[in-house]
Amino acid sequence: MLLAIDLALIIEKLVLIIIVVMASLGIAMYTTFAERKVAAILQDRRGPNRAGPFGLLQPLADGVKLFFKEEIIPNFSSKFLFILGPSLAMLTAIMTGAVVPWGDKVHFFGRDISLQIADVNVGILYVFAVVSLGVYGIMIGSWASNNKFSLMGGLRAASQIISYELAMGLSLIALLMVTGTLSLKDMVLQQHSEGWHFRWNIIYQPLGFLIFLICAFAECNRTPFDLPEAENELIGGYHTEYSSMKLGFYLFSEYINMFISSVIMSTLFFGGYDIPFLNEANLSVNIAALLGILALMAKVCFFLFLFMWVRWTIPRFRYDQLMNLGWRVLIPLALVNMLVTGGLILLKQNHWHF
């Protein structure tokens, strides 16, 4: 009975989906707040501190403001696509969370519940597919607004994401050769430390991680790669014509993308929900899962801080510099990294004899 429907399983997955979506929305909300706070602190300012204690209600106030703003759809825009753009951006941003292992498993109501919505055996490919769909949101939205600046932003976004996705994929191939699996869950399990043997992928693939990190910045349209929305060149880039919550969706999807790519980076290179040198088998299942989630969130917070930290340090690239870096530096580097990794793996299989 392969097709027998297990009602409990459906409920369990549904609850998990709702929690993951809500959590990523909430985290994206507070990432906007954190961005403003971090920006302020790095610039010796105080940042938002009026709404609620320490300004903690600021994202709510921002959200309410966006909802109450006038909704403008330009006369000459293609209305369906104009609305489709931000929706697609948001959809693809949220969809990525489906294959991420947020923790090992919890034990509730006599059932073992895996903290991963879908353990797909091609998890990382799914992530890549969905992330590259994200550019359609930007492209469609920018084209539909019927505005030169938007179109320029969309063009830049498309070419930038295509260029950097190549390098990202190539840097990942080296990692996949090391791990030998495409499933994110298996990758995390492989990185669990055995006794005192530290096995995070970052020590096997430091160059791969650097390339992946740079490409992740580019994929998220973050400074120094924020050319699609360069305020002082293109007004607002692809979201020039957007207002109200449609603009909010674009901004929100950017922050969700940031969150998801932080999660992916921690999962691929920093052991996901693994706490180094801690034997999870000694703890009860639920506590181990809780600690795992906290560990993952700590890593994610570090990466989110890195995103903001870089934003307020490094100025934006010129367009030709961006393309130079992508095609003439990162892709060859990723290829070399792949070659060296492959060679070393062959050598290891041959017990270090040529």
Partner 1 sequence: MQALTNRVKAVERKPMSFFERMYLVAIFKGMFITFMHIFKKKPTINYPEKKRPFSPVFRGLQVLNRDAEGRENCTACGLCAVACPAEAITMEAAERKEGEGHLYREEKYAAKYEINMLRCIFCGLCEEACPKDAIYLSETFTPADYQRKQFIYNKEDLLIPHPVEEPEAYKKALGNKAKKEIIN
Closer Cβ to partner 1, 278 or 323, answer by number: 323
Q: Cβ-count burial of 210 within 10 angstroms (0-12 exposed, 13-18 middle, 19+ buried)?
A: middle
298 part of the interface to partner 1, by CB under 8 A: no
Q: What length is written for the chain?
A: 354
Phi first, then psi: give them for residue 116, nearest 5 degrees: -140, 130
Closer Cβ to partner 1, 46 or 353, answer by number: 46
User: What residue spans of 43-147 are helical by DSSP H?
Assistant: 58-68, 79-95, 123-144
133 part of the interface to partner 1, by CB under 8 A: no
Closer Cβ to partner 1, 42 or 291, answer by number: 42
Nearest distance from residue 46's CB to partner 1, in Å?
Answer: 5
57 part of the interface to partner 1, by CB under 8 A: no
Q: Could you tell me which stretch among 39-47, 105-113, 138-146, 176-184 binds partner 1 (CB under 8 A)?
A: 39-47
182 part of the interface to partner 1, by CB under 8 A: no
**Backbone φ/ψ region at 221: left (φ over 0), alpha (ψ -120 to 50), beta:** left
How many angstroms separate the CA atoms of 212 and 219, rounded? 10
Closer Cβ to partner 1, 36 or 192, answer by number: 36
How many angstroms separate the CA atoms of 263 and 86, rounded? 22
314 part of the interface to partner 1, by CB under 8 A: yes
Phi first, then psi: give them for residue 240, nearest 5 degrees: -55, -45
Q: Could you tell me which stretch among 45-53, 58-66, 102-110, 115-123 binds partner 1 (CB under 8 A)?
A: 45-53
- Cβ(259)–Cβ(28) below 8 Å: yes
How many angstroms separate the CA atoms of 240 and 157, rounded? 14
Nearest distance from residue 305's CB to partner 1, in Å?
Answer: 10
Residue 49 token pair: 């501190």
- Which listed residue (61, 81, 91, 310) binds partner 1 by CB under 8 A? 310
Torsion of CA 57, 61, 64, 65, to 10 degrees: -170
- Which listed residue (302, 309, 319, 327) binds partner 1 by CB under 8 A? 309
- Which listed residue (11, 14, 22, 45) binds partner 1 by CB under 8 A? 45
Nearest distance from residue 165's CB to partner 1, in Å?
Answer: 22
Nearest distance from residue 250's CB to partner 1, in Å?
Answer: 27
Closer Cβ to partner 1, 55 or 134, answer by number: 55
Binding residues for partner 1 (CB under 8 A): 41-46, 49, 309-310, 312-314
